[in-house]
Structure 1
Amino acid sequence: MNRIVRKFINEAILDGKQAVVVGTGKSGLAAARLLDVLGARVRVVDRDESVTEAKLGPLAGKAELVVGPHEKGHFADADVIVLSPGVPVRKLAPVLEGVPARNVVSELEFASWFIEAPILAVTGSNGKTTTTTLISEILEKAGRRVFTGGNIGVPLCEYLLDMEPAEIIVLEVSSFQLQNCLRFKPHVGLFLNFSANHLDYHADLDEYLDAKLHLFSRMGPEDIALLHESLHPLLDGRSFTEAHIEWFGPTNRFEAPHLLGEHNRSNVEAAWQAVKRFGVSEEQAAEAIRDFRPLPHRIEPVAERNGVLYVNDSKATTLDAAEAAVHAFERPVRILMGGVWKGGDVAKFAEGIKGRVAAVGLFGGSREILEPELARHFSVTWDETLTEAVRRQAGLAAPGDVVLLSPATSSFDQYHNMAERGADFKRAVEGLHD
């Protein structure tokens, strides 16, 4: 437990204050635990009526649990309201009427009040987890003591409660987390790219971009904003930070044999530009980058059968991510797509993959959105399940082809998450007969 947390406890800053935590996911429960330690009265609310006291763990019987539709009375007495990342504040607007906006914060914002170590934060529509993990591996191999978390792994509130202090805090941050940040301030902020995404959560692209830019809004001239060169049209002439701005793009500076595609050359360069601010040498970075392997479900080779390579890119939940995956290969690609639609320009996507895609195998949801445009340019089939789509494309593939699961959608039509979808793809590939 760090010095600032102890200060809050010793000075009873939150003693007796009413805190409301919205959501019972990992982040929400970590925030509830921290609020309890700080002396606040904790109420946890969740729309899911199946949530029971057991979900609260050590807070069961101590924190108040309210399930079912949110009501004004759940929030009217709150001194602070902490939102889990998956809770859109605009959908709470009717029940938050009269509550000062400064009282409503994300778990990331709340935890950041207690952080003393410099923060290195990574955002973007695609590639956040790979880049964040690569940054942490470089720093750790260079001998730095690092905490890695935020939108991946361990919530920041949990770090404050249960982990040894780190020299550097490396965070993946999503638009969900950033939208309700007021004072969150990294020393280095990294914006990898921007494309249509999460339009099932945000009202529109402008709201989505504004949320991303919250990352930089409290940074000062002593801080560094690293921005991908593709963001020039969006950000040139726009006042969004007082940080020192530097731009980056793909380079061949480092050998990264396990990270395929131009987008990963950008991610590698971004990681280098970030870590060198913390005293890492180019030689130290090069060694870590050379050894780094892609995370599961991110352009992950699964098997090669009869000359056909099967690749799991289940994490590609946007059209831009799927296009980047297609361009990672010099071989003809048979791309598997389908799931819950999150937005994007299918016609632009089709133009971007022409000449590289041999066929499109659709499965599950979003057929009505994807098929009309893609069928104008490619051979398109549809199967109800991913396993059926894998079998079909395996039967049609020629030696030298790539069968690529890069769905460009979320997984929630048939799976609990993208990892479950990726695991199903692997099972389907394992079930193929040579």
Structure 2
Amino acid sequence: RQQEFFCAAGGRGIGGRGGGGLVAERGAAPVAGVTGTNGKSTVTSLLAHMAGRAGRPARAGGNLSPPALDLLEGGGVSLYVLELSSYQLETTHSLHLAAATVLNVTADHLDRYADIEAYAAAKARIFERCDTAVLNLDDARVAAMARPGQRTLTFSLDARSGADFVLATEQGRDWLCRGSERLLAMDELRLVGRHNAANALAALAMGEALGLAREPLLAALRDFPGLPHRAAFVAEIGGVRYVNDSKGTNVGATLAAVAGFTGPLLLIAGGDGKNQDFSPLAAALAGKVRRVLTIGRDAPRIEAALAGVCPIERCATLEEAVVAAARAARPGDTVLLSPACASLDMFRDYAHRGEVFAEAVRRLAA
């Protein structure tokens, strides 16, 4: 695989350019880059969708399939949008980007990095050769990545932040805004949750950085369906909603998913925790999550972090957890799979885990 080759080359000090760097050098169109702990794939796909609507046919790839070098095949492209992991940024030294964003930095991959500051430094490399940086002012580590003299656009979920793109609440509706100008109400989007509001704001800022016309961007936002296994509605059975957020592979992603729901939740969590600290879950789940069903290798660590917060039930399999959640749920509840962990202790990958969850939910209705 191309990514494995470039990572190996970087690890041996060969100074490889990485697939992204080669796209920037050999591609006939500008390149936009997206990184962050959570939301990368959604924003990458959304930005490519928006660019197409704005008359700039785009190809998206990189860490998100297809690999970056595959994007060079064929013509008719006006923009490349690359999803870039911290690993790829470590091994790419010649990547010039027309616009780039770091969406957020939360604890992840700490089995690879000495600490979160080293992980953030790897993410910040995306801005080294970048025309316009798009920064999340709600994340102090990201906000600190601003470089003197570099054109910058900002976004925030706080309307008082002074960011260029903000989320504002007016007359009971949440609005995506450019400064004080209302652009689009969140309830007009197929994407749900505050984390997806942040993703939408980031994509709008990237669109402006790339000179894309605004109206087509808003039209594209309205009909973008989102990506599988990311806060995806599966079914409603007996008044209980079942939501698949299997892509929630770290604590930050699960915190964002939980914050996106207003009603009572039953949370299915667990797997390979990658040396994360699960303690931030306690405050976020208190009073909001009625029960946690734990699975996987690091179930005991999650249970220890949530002791006294809410009832916890250990389950041997994900299918067992779905049945237990259904038994405990009441009409109006949401059963949310958002594991806060990687999946490889029990599944092929996060998509396999999401498919097992969805199939278990379908069996409830049979």
SS at 2:123 equivalent: helix
Partner of 1:245: 152
Residue 232, structure 1, aligned to residue 140, structure 2: yes
Instruction: Report 1:32-431 matches (<5 A).
Output: 82-84=5-7, 92=11, 96=12, 101=13, 103-160=15-72, 162-219=73-130, 223-232=131-140, 235-236=143-144, 242-250=149-157, 251=167, 252-253=175-176, 254-256=184-186, 257-431=189-363
Give 1:102 deviation, angstroms: 5.5
Q: Hey, what's the Cα distance between the residues in 1 that align with 2:116 and 2:329?
A: 38
SS at 1:346 equivalent: coil
Q: Hey, what's the Cα distance between the residues in 1 that align with 2:314 and 2:26?
A: 51
Give 1:329 deviation, angstroms: 1.2
Q: 1:213 to 1:204 in 2, by over 3 A?
A: same
Q: 1:320 to 1:408 in 2, by over 3 A?
A: same
Deviation by residue 1:336-370 (Cα, 9 ceiling, x = unmatched): 00111124332222112222111111011201211
Give 1:243 deviation, angstroms: 2.3
Q: Hey, what's the Cα distance between the residues in 2 that align with 1:239 and 1:333?
A: 38
Report if aligned partners of 1:298, 1:315 keep a CA contact under 8 Å in 2.
yes
Q: 1:285 to 1:234 in 2, by over 3 A?
A: closer
Partner of 2:163: none
SS at 1:273 equivalent: helix
Q: Hey, what's the Cα distance between the residues in 2 that align with 1:116 and 1:140?
A: 16
Q: Hey, what's the Cα distance between the residues in 1 that align with 2:84 and 2:141?
A: 23
TM-score by length of 1: 0.74
SS at 2:279 equivalent: helix
TM-score by length of 2: 0.87
Q: 1:430 to 1:26 in 2, by over 3 A?
A: farther
Q: Hey, what's the Cα distance between the residues in 2 that align with 1:351 and 1:26?
A: 42
Give 1:142 deviation, angstroms: 1.7
Deviation by residue 1:98-149 (Cα, 9 ceiling, x = unmatched): xxx4634433334433234211111111011111111111111122121111
Letter of the 2:67 partner, please give it. Answer: P
Q: Hey, what's the Cα distance between the residues in 2 that align with 1:330 and 1:231?
A: 23
Give 1:278 deviation, angstroms: 3.4
SS at 1:230 equivalent: coil
Q: Is 163-172 or 343-352 further displaced after alignment?
A: 343-352
Deviation by residue 1:188-229 (Cα, 9 ceiling, x = unmatched): 01111110011223333222111101101123xxx1100001
Report if aligned partners of 1:327, 1:356 keep a CA contact under 8 Å in 2.
no
Q: Is 271-280 or 139-148 further displaced after alignment?
A: 271-280
Q: Hey, what's the Cα distance between the residues in 1 that align with 2:285 and 2:43?
A: 24
Letter of the 1:195 partner, please give it. Answer: T
Report if aligned partners of 2:16, 2:93 keep a CA contact under 8 Å in 1.
no
Report if aligned partners of 1:216, 1:243 keep a CA contact under 8 Å in 2.
no
Give 1:412 deviation, angstroms: 0.2
Q: 1:234 to 1:171 in 2, by over 3 A?
A: closer
Higher RCO, Cα 8 Å, sep 6+ = 2
Question: Which runs of no fewer than 5 residues in structure 1 stay unpaired?
Answer: 1-24, 29-81
Question: Which runs of no fewer than 5 residues in structure 2 stay unpaired?
Answer: 158-166, 168-174, 177-183
Give 1:312 deviation, angstroms: 0.3
Give 1:282 deviation, angstroms: 2.6
Give 1:26 deviation, angstroms: 5.5
Identity %: 34
**Residues matched between the structures, number:** 341
Q: 1:120 to 1:111 in 2, by over 3 A?
A: closer
SS at 1:133 equivalent: helix
SS at 1:302 equivalent: strand
